[in-house]
Structure 1
Amino acid sequence: MDLQGFIVRGQVLSLMRQLIRATRNAPSDARAELRAEIRRCFEQAKGHADRVTVKHLLSDGRLKLKMLKEMVGFTT
């Protein structure tokens, strides 16, 4: 793995942690389902190696994080 790949991997892991943390404010009955969906999406995208595709997925994930935070009223 080269340096750029290492950096992108860190960004992906950071995004996943942020998404999981954002579910803390979700209603308890929906929390497990949200976390399962987040993990499913990351597992589905795991096989992508093309940097352009990965960057697009990261961008899309950041947008979804913003929407999730707004939806559950998460404030930082």
Structure 2
Amino acid sequence: MWLTLEDAAEKLGVSIDTVHEVLGTSIIQILESQVDELRNELEQLQNTLQQKETMLLYLREQPFELWTDRRT
């Protein structure tokens, strides 16, 4: 049997506004946590990208002869 939020509020003896407030606070906390995780992942990806770009620039500046010498 499914309860509506109104039914749950009544069974708990609280107002529907209290239920909405608690749910809203919980949702906000969950979203804040997810945003923090995504920011950390983004920072890691930006660091990796910067490292790869630096490596690419370095390799592009190397004389072509170094590449051919290493292959033979």
TM range (shorter): 0.3 to 0.5
The structure showing larger relative contact order (alpha-carbon pairs under 8 Å, at least 6 residues apart) is 1
With the length of structure 1 as denominator, give the TM-score of the two structures.
0.35
Bigger CA radius of gyration: 2
